[in-house]
């Protein structure tokens, strides 16, 4: 007896129960196929995110290098000269007084 004949020989409630049990199974299979497809085709998205991460890291390094350059002594010295700063020419050393001065 074929599965179709077997099915048609079931009573009404048995058919409903069987359909009710098969539905989640069918839905599950469809969902799995859909998820697998989404996952397998998300490679392109992952690729984009990876490239974005690499670019951001590169930009981060470039910005850090710019900060290092602007805070370098070579740059500070050249800017100081442009602004008219000069080297110390005279230093006065103060000796500690032997007296306590009260005003």
77 contacts other proteins (rule: CB under 8 A): yes
Binding other proteins (rule: CB under 8 A), the pick from 19, 26, 56, 65 is: 65
Alpha-carbon span 69 to 66, nearest angstrom: 5
Of 56, 74, 53, whose CA–CA distance to 64 is shortest? Answer: 56
Q: Does 4 bind other proteins (CB under 8 A)?
A: no
Give the contacts of 18 (CB within 8 A, at least 6 positions apart).
7, 10
Give contact residues for other proteins (rule: CB under 8 A). Answer: 36, 39-40, 42-44, 46-47, 54, 58, 61-62, 64-65, 68-69, 71-75, 77, 88, 91, 93
């Amino acid at each position: 007896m074929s599965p179709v004949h077997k099915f048609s020989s079931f009573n009404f409630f048995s058919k409903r129960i069987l359909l009710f049990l098969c539905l989640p199974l069918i839905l599950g299979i469809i969902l799995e196929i859909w998820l697998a497809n989404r996952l397998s085709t998300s490679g392109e998205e992952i690729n984009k995110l990876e490239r974005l991460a690499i670019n951001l890291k590169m930009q981060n390094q470039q910005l850090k290098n710019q900060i290092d350059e602007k805070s370098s002594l070579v740059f500070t010295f050249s800017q100081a000269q442009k602004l008219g700063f000069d080297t110390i020419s005279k230093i006065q050393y103060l000796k500690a007084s032997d007296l306590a001065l009260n005003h």
